[in-house]
């Protein structure tokens, strides 16, 4: 059963790497504008779940539905196009392009979607401001701190106004103060644009940022019963 009103929903996802099951019948759904925190021990299948949901990895079994689309039924080219327009990604290490300035990094996905340079750079500057890192606009990723880099990475992920943002331990390399700040900025910006967020995190205070928490264990998804 696909949960009513969901934007992205997966049913019975299984994926094995050789003899290792990474996912083993995982179900998932997220509503428009909802922030779902994904927790669970290392190796439990969290990253594989995100990759299947985003259409980066094809599951061995199960389906992923995004709006009217069934991701597994699309061609690679269709899936890539959808990822570029509708999904945004933030990883543990920002994976910014080192040769480009921070402004150019944020403008890049807009340029790839056909936005003119001037408009792309104006929008990129606004996003850097919103993420409180406008001072880094002219600097290259190697010249800024990890916390600043993650803010730039969040700005880049949000720039195309994606419907879903996937964030895989985006604050894993930051101290807790910087980590909390980045999560606050990310989730606030996502709420402003009504984007859904699928956030893998180990932050202790994640309940403050998320609408719902799930736990992945041995490749399966468990809903958290209530909040602490
Ligand atoms: N590309 C891969 N090749 C081989 N094994 C993998 C690959 N990706 C993940 N795995 C294995 O699948 C399991 C789940 O991994 P992963 O989804 O990365 O977990 P998590 O993100 O929760 O740490 C682990 O046992 C991991 O070693
Ligand atoms: Mg992982």
Confidence check: pLDDT of 227 > 60: no
CA distance 33 to 107: 24
Q: Would the CB of 46 count as within 6 Å of ligand 1? A: yes
Q: Would the CB of 45 count as within 6 Å of ligand 1? A: yes
Confidence check: pLDDT of 98 > 60: yes
Nearest ligand for residue 169 CA: 2
Map tokens 């600043």 to a residue: 148
Nearest ligand for residue 91 CA: 2
What average pLDDT score do residues 125-140 get?
96
Confidence check: pLDDT of 1 > 50: no
What average pLDDT score do residues 84-103 get?
92
Confidence check: pLDDT of 55 > 50: yes
The closest residue, in CA terms, to atom 27 on ligand 1 is 43
pLDDT in tens, 199-215: 999 887 888 889 999 99
CB 13 within 8 A of CB 50: no
Q: Would the CB of 83 count as within 6 Å of ligand 1? A: no
pLDDT in tens, 151-185: 999 999 999 999 999 999 999 888 888 899 899 99
* pLDDT score at 225: 54
CB 224 within 8 A of CB 213: yes
Classify residue 134 by its DSSP letter.
G
The closest residue, in CA terms, to atom 16 on ligand 1 is 45
Burial of 161 from C-beta contacts in 10 A (0-12 / 13-18 / 19+): middle
Mean pLDDT of the chain: 92
CA distance 212 to 34: 8
* pLDDT score at 2: 53
Q: What separation in Å is there between the alpha carbon of 45 and the centre of ligand 1?
A: 6
Confidence check: pLDDT of 138 > 70: yes
* pLDDT score at 208: 85
What average pLDDT score do residues 52-79 get?
94
Please give the model's pTM, rounded to 2 decimal places. 0.93
**Domain 1-86+196-228, what fold?**
Rossmann fold (3.40.50)
The closest residue, in CA terms, to atom 17 on ligand 1 is 45
Domain ranges of the chain: 1-86+196-228
The closest residue, in CA terms, to atom 8 on ligand 1 is 48
Q: Which of 40, 48, 56 to mutate to test the pocket of ligand 1 (most atoms within 8 A of CB)?
A: 48
Q: Would the CB of 19 count as within 6 Å of ligand 1? A: no
Q: In what order do the strands lie in the sheet with 220-223?
A: 87-90, 164-168, 196-200, 35-39, 212-217, 220-223
């Amino acid at each position: 059963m696909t949960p009513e009103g969901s934007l992205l929903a997966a049913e019975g996802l299984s994926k094995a790497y050789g003899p290792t099951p990474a996912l083993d019948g995982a179900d998932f759904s997220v509503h428009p504008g909802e922030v779902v925190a994904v927790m669970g021990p290392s190796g439990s299948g969290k990253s594989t779940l995100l990759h299947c949901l985003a259409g980066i990895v094809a599951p061995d079994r199960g389906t992923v539905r995004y709006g009217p689309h069934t991701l597994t039924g699309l061609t690679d080219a269709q899936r890539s196009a959808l990822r570029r327009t509708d999904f945004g990604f933030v990883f543990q290490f920002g994976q910014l392009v080192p040769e480009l300035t921070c402004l150019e990094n944020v403008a890049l996905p807009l340029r790839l979607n056909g936005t003119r340079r001037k408009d792309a750079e104006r929008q990129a500057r606004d996003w850097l401001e919103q993420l409180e890192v406008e001072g880094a606009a002219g600097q290259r990723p190697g010249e800024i701190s990890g916390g600043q880099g993650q803010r730039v990475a969040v700005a880049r992920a949000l720039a195309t106004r994606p419907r879903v943002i996937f964030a895989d331990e985006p604050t894993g390399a930051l101290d807790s103060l910087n980590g909390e700040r980045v999560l606050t900025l990310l989730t606030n910006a996502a709420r402003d644009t009504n984007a859904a967020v699928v956030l893998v995190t180990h932050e202790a205070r994640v309940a403050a940022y998320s609408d719902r928490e799930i736990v992945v264990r041995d490749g399966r998804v468990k809903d958290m019963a209530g909040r602490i």
